[in-house]
A and B are shown apart, each in its own frame.
Chain A
Amino acid sequence: MSESASHAAVHASDIGRVFQAKGGPVTALDSIDLRVEPGELFGVLGPNGAGKSTLIKILSTLLLPTSGAASIFGLDVVTETARVRRIMNLVAGGDFSGYGLLTVREQLAMFAQFYGLPYREGIAKVDAQLASFGLDEIRDRKISALSTGQRQKLNFARSFLNDPWILFLDEPTIGLDVSAARDVRDRVRAFQAEQPGRTVLLTTHYMAEADEMCDRIAIVNHGRILAQGTPTELKRMVQKDTLFIVGIDELPATISMDSLRALPGVLSVAERDDVTDDVSGVGTQTVRLAVGLREDGALGGVISALAAGGAHLREISKSEPTLEEVFVQLVGRGISESDIAIDGA
């Protein structure tokens, strides 16, 4: 294994996975190359059947690849499974694991033993996680009596017990309400912040979640990575140029759209139709111009020209494409609700 690979949190090289199905072999993953650095929160986005879960199963030692090699912090997922399992944990969305007759605290205490924590340390960790996830009040409630949100919080509490260096999250917020999902995301961020080097690999259907949480994202479809990079880099793939929305009180009579378009670095100028009535008490409407620029620095010329013409600046905002738009362009379709409900590839 190269030094580069051994220093990565996740390193996958030419990973492939073929399932034998009744209708013939089905390729779930095809030559996946992936590198996740220590401390990263890496997202994997893809539609139903894209291969996201297959990838996470291989990396979490649940499934063997049919080709290629993968390692977690330099430990081979095929030949060093026992060591990999000592530093990882996994949370899957819609997970209803556990024993209904056990209480919340007993369930966590049991898993603390499975994760190899000494008894006293394990109990201390359990109590700390109960407090951290706001589960203290239901610590003596049976698992069978928990709501979906409480069970998922319990799953997260379980996954933090062994202080994993890598945490695999497979659609972790599926089925959670907005508030519970936000709580969980906050805890994941805090978990990473507590110990530099902790790494999270997340699969999700929720674009906003990926955009908000992930340092980098890989978009997969039909078992292949179509693109990967930071959310900003991915958005740049769709929109090469910079688009600013400039709000002014009115377009000066002395300035034409063509004169603005002729300014250095300006690619396009168009008046948007979302003129808003005055709500600020200034006394006039706000006219919005969509200004396409070759680079951010060209904006200064536009602002100066407008100001010289007597326009009063109301607002400036940078318009970026959404991750959804990136996804649609790369995959050819969006992620529908049906995908969210049935994904399992």
Chain B
Amino acid sequence: MVHSVTTRDPAELIGRIHRETNWGFGRRTRHALASVIARAYPRVIGAAREPSWLFFDLVFPILGMCSIVFLLRSRGVDEAWIGSTILATALLSFWISVVWMMGAQFHWERDSGNLLLYITAPVGLGSIALGMAIGGALGVVIRAVIITLAGVLLFGAKYQVADPLLLMLVIVAGVAAMYSLGVCLSSVFLISGREADHLGSLLNEPMQLLGGVYAPVRSMGTVGVVALGILPLAPAIDALRQVAVPQLATTGILPVGIELVILVVMTIIFGVIGRSLLSYIERVGRSGGRLLARAD
């Protein structure tokens, strides 16, 4: 069966196509925002559709939290540390999401064939990554709230938040900085290939220690100061502990205001680095031929 080949004036057709592909700034901006929302959607909706995720993402962290709380109580530690542990566990769920749901995501997207479709679509990888981050953060919010409520109900933890706005700022800035780092990690995981799983493990338990999840970074001396400067989890938890548990304000390594600034700066720096890394992986992927598409 032979079809007709050219059924319209080629010059007119080419002219039309060139006009269609010439998107203005407004259209490109709307497209980028719509793509962010579109990519965030599976993250938000997925958390509600897979009960096993809820089980693993809620029950395991709560069990871990319980073990720490029982240990603290058995040692007769101030009850303020119980409240701190609960908040840290809630914030930790964001970090775990950053490592496994952001960091490893492009690696998984490549193997599933999605990355190939993203690259060949007119959407930028930046929009995809931002959608992953926002969707991931929104999806974890419910888990974090449930973990906190569970901790309060199980252990009777009490909080004294003098400045709710500051508390919100700390949480938002902390989450933003973590997911901004997640954008960087997504590229690093993709480049690391088979080592991605090991990288994920490396960023899990060791980072809980360096992030001061269960013990203030101040107690770690120089290592704690370094962690505060490079690991979003550290200033986020340190600031959160100071704002929500005033009895532990003296354990903070820096004033909350400065830690907030650190988190904002981290968000910007990691965002810029992440954007560059996304451009890098696309460039390297297109020139090398192996990074963006799964091995056939």
Which A positions have Cβ atoms within 8 angstroms of B?
6-8, 17, 19-20, 37-41, 53-54, 57, 60-64, 73-75, 82-90, 92, 95-99, 101-102, 106, 109-111, 113-116, 119, 142, 158, 165, 189, 192, 196-197, 212-213, 215, 230-231, 342-344
Contact = CB atoms under 8 A, between A and B. Distances in A.
Contacts of B194: none
A101 B2 contact: no
A95 B1 CA distance: 27
The SS class assigned to the B binding surface is: helix
B64 interface: no
Contact of B3 (A61, A111, A192): A192
A102 B45 contact: yes
Given A40-B6, A85-B121, A109-B38, 16 more contacts: A38-B5, A73-B14, A74-B14, A75-B17, A87-B17, A87-B21, A96-B112, A97-B112, A102-B46, A114-B39, A114-B118, A115-B121, A115-B123, A116-B23, A197-B8, A215-B5
A88 B116 contact: no
A57 B22 CA distance: 23
Contacts of A196: 4, 7-8
B13 interface: yes
Given A37-B6, A115-B122, A83 B37 contact: no
Contacts of A86: 20-21, 23, 122
A57 B289 CA distance: 9
A110 B5 contact: no
Contacts of B41: 106, 110
A90 B117 contact: yes
A134 to B, nearest CB: 22
A192 B296 CA distance: 29
Contact of A119 (B3, B4, B34, B42): B34
A115 B122 CA distance: 6
Interface of B: 1-8, 10-11, 13-14, 17-18, 20-23, 27, 31, 34-35, 37-39, 41-42, 45-46, 49-50, 112-114, 116-123, 285-289, 292-293, 295-296
B49 to A, nearest CB: 5
A116 B33 CA distance: 10
A97 B117 contact: yes
A8 B20 CA distance: 17
Residue in B3, B4, B285 with the greatest tally of chain A CB atoms within 10 Å = B3
A73 B13 CA distance: 9
B3 A110 contact: no
Contacts of A19: 289
Contacts of A8: 10
Contacts of A116: 23, 27, 31, 34, 122-123
6 contacts: A62-B116, A62-B293, A119-B34, A197-B6, A197-B7, A343-B296
Given A97-B112, A106-B41, A7 B11 contact: yes
B296 to A, nearest CB: 3
Given A92-B116, A106-B41, A106-B45, A111 B122 contact: no
A37 B2 CA distance: 14
Given A101-B46, A215-B5, A62 B286 contact: yes
Given A38-B6, A344-B296, A85 B287 contact: no
Contacts of A113: 31, 34-35, 37-38
B8 A114 contact: no
B120 A88 contact: yes
A211 B13 CA distance: 27
B287 to A, nearest CB: 5
B42 A101 contact: yes
Closest 5 A-B residue pairs measured CB to CB? A344-B296, A113-B38, A196-B7, A97-B113, A83-B21
A92 B113 contact: yes
Residue in B11, B112, B289 with the greatest tally of chain A CB atoms within 10 Å = B289
A192 B8 CA distance: 13
A114 B123 contact: yes
Given A38-B10, A83-B22, A110 B39 contact: yes
Nearest to A119: B34
B3 to A, nearest CB: 5
Given A101-B46, A215-B2, A75 B21 contact: yes
Nearest to A113: B38
A78 to B, nearest CB: 9
Contact of B5 (A37, A60, A87): A37
